[in-house]
């Protein structure tokens, strides 16, 4: 309703009665209204919108493809555009109802039973003082030990593991991996064995006696296996062969649970955001960390499947812009197939200006973001992912990437348990 011009009194009156009497009509109206608003803004937007491609048939395929994780570093990119190109989705079928129905086709463990809150951040909005209204989606409050984004992905991949009769879970991550913590938590909840291959991405960073997530691995009775940088495939293959030789049925979850099935968890999160926007007004942008890629690609696929064209900005925490864009787009293509959508590469917006000297290595911007969120909103971030992601959002607000009055949502993907392992620059 806020988007309707004040002069269109009759239209407002009509829509009000539709909203009250026929609430299911509103998602379709919201989709059309969003498209019209985007079209009217194209003349002044930094990046022009593309016309949608011809509709394509829906696909019910369920292809599980783990994504590779190449490593590279590069220079920060220029200010990102504030308008995403329009996805070439099947606009005749893209709607919240269509996405909701499609999601019902995927089995899950139901670790996630409630929508996570979306909260305004008035104090931080005032401190940054640039006319941008900041909001946060609290996926750090998700279930399983310590919460975080991987709970949504494990909801689906653990169901597949159990459907296949697995009695052992093997996965991999960094030495303070949030994904490994939550995978070990899910395995403990299901009563099955769990093995973690921990990659030392920074020389000398692995300590078997370390706190943070590493401490929880032991509490959850997960077995740890150390691997040097780039050695995960070798160590993991040898481990799987050993376990299978013992007569165990092994299910391997890729790093971050970032395969198409896992990413469905974030298509479901996208539906939560779309439903919130129907009641409270749309967001102008969504900002998230961009790491292993399942969160970023799943969010894009879900929004577009719901007919929502909100741009999603991914703040890279490890790779340069070009590398990360290619990685996310490859995953986005596979996830979008599950919903019968195309995945235009222009949908993938990456900033790499917060990577700093490397993955998990501290920066001054990260430390500032960590403290800004803590002292003004009483929300804890982690130094590896969410603090760098939020630092990217802070930088965008300060450089004027969002027009005054914009509503911007930060996706808090969790990670606070690792905070107690790291020291900030100041200390």
Q: What angle do CA 292, 136, 382 make, to 5 degrees?
A: 50
Please give the Cα distance from 277 to 33 (Å, whole number): 13
Determine how β-strand 250-253 pairs with β-strand 349-351: unpaired
Give Dmax over CA atoms of the chain in angstroms. Answer: 74
Please give the Cα distance from 98 to 79 (Å, whole number): 34
Please give the Cα distance from 51 to 54 (Å, whole number): 9
Please tell me whether residue 270 adopts helix, strand or coil conformation.
Answer: helix
Please give the Cα distance from 107 to 163 (Å, whole number): 9
Sheet of 118-120, strand order: 118-120, 133-138, 407-412, 285-290, 312-316, 349-351
Which region, left, alpha or beta, applies to residue 146 given φ > 0 means left and ψ of -120 to 50 means alpha?
A: left
Please tell me whether residue 277 adopts helix, strand or coil conformation.
Answer: helix
End-to-end CA distance of the chain: 49
Return the DSSP state at 140. Answer: G
Residue with tokens 């129905």: 101
Phi and psi of 338, rounded to 5°?
A: -65, -25
Please give the Cα distance from 404 to 225 (Å, whole number): 50
Residue 141 burial (CB count, 10 A): 14
Residues annotated catalytic, as ranges: 177
Please give the Cα distance from 221 to 92 (Å, whole number): 49
Partners of residue 397 on adjacent β-strands: none
């Amino acid at each position: 309703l806020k988007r309707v011009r004040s002069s269109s009194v009759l239209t407002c009156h009509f829509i009000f009665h539709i909203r009250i009497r026929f609430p299911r009509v509103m998602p379709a109206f919201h989709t059309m209204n969003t498209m019209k608003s985007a079209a009217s803004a194209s003349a002044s937007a930094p990046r022009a919108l593309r016309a949608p491609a011809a509709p394509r048939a829906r696909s019910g395929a369920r292809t599980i493809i783990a994504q590779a994780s190449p490593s590279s570093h590069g220079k920060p990119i220029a200010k990102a555009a504030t308008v995403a190109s329009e996805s070439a989705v099947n606009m005749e079928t893209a709607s919240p109802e269509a996405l909701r129905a499609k999601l019902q086709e995927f089995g899950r463990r139901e670790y996630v039973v409630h929508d996570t809150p979306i909260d305004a951040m008035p104090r931080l909005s005032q401190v940054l003082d640039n006319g941008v209204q900041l909001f946060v989606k609290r996926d750090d409050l998700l279930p399983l030990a310590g919460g975080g984004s991987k709970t949504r992905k494990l909801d689906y991949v653990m169901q597949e593991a159990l459907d296949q009769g697995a009695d052992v879970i093997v996965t991999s991550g960094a030495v303070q991996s949030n994904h490994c913590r939550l995978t070990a938590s899910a395995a403990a909840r299901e009563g099955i064995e769990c093995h973690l291959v921990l990659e030392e991405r920074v020389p000398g960073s692995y300590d078997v006696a370390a706190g943070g997530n590493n401490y929880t691995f032991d509490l959850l009775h997960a077995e740890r296996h150390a691997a040097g940088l780039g050695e995960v495939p070798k160590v993991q293959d040898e481990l799987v062969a050993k376990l299978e030789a013992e007569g165990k049925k092994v299910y391997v979850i890729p790093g971050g649970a970032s395969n198409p099935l896992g990413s469905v968890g974030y298509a479901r999160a996208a539906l939560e955001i779309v439903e919130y926007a129907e009641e409270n007004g749309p967001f102008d942008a969504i900002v998230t960390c961009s790491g292993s890629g399942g969160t970023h690609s799943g969010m894009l696929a879900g929004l577009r499947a719901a007919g929502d064209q909100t741009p999603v900005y991914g703040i890279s925490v490890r790779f340069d812009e070009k590398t990360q864009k290619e990685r996310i787009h490859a995953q986005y293509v596979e996830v979008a197939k599950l919903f019968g959508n195309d995945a235009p590469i222009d949908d993938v917006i990456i900033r790499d200006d917060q990577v700093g000297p490397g993955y998990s290595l501290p920066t001054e911007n990260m430390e500032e973001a960590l403290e800004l969120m803590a002292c003004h909103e009483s929300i804890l971030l982690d130094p590896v992912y969410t603090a760098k992601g939020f630092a990217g959002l802070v930088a965008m607000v300060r450089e004027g990437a969002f027009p005054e009055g914009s509503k911007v949502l930060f996706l808090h993907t969790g990670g606070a348990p690792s905070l107690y392992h790291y020291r900030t620059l100041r200390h």
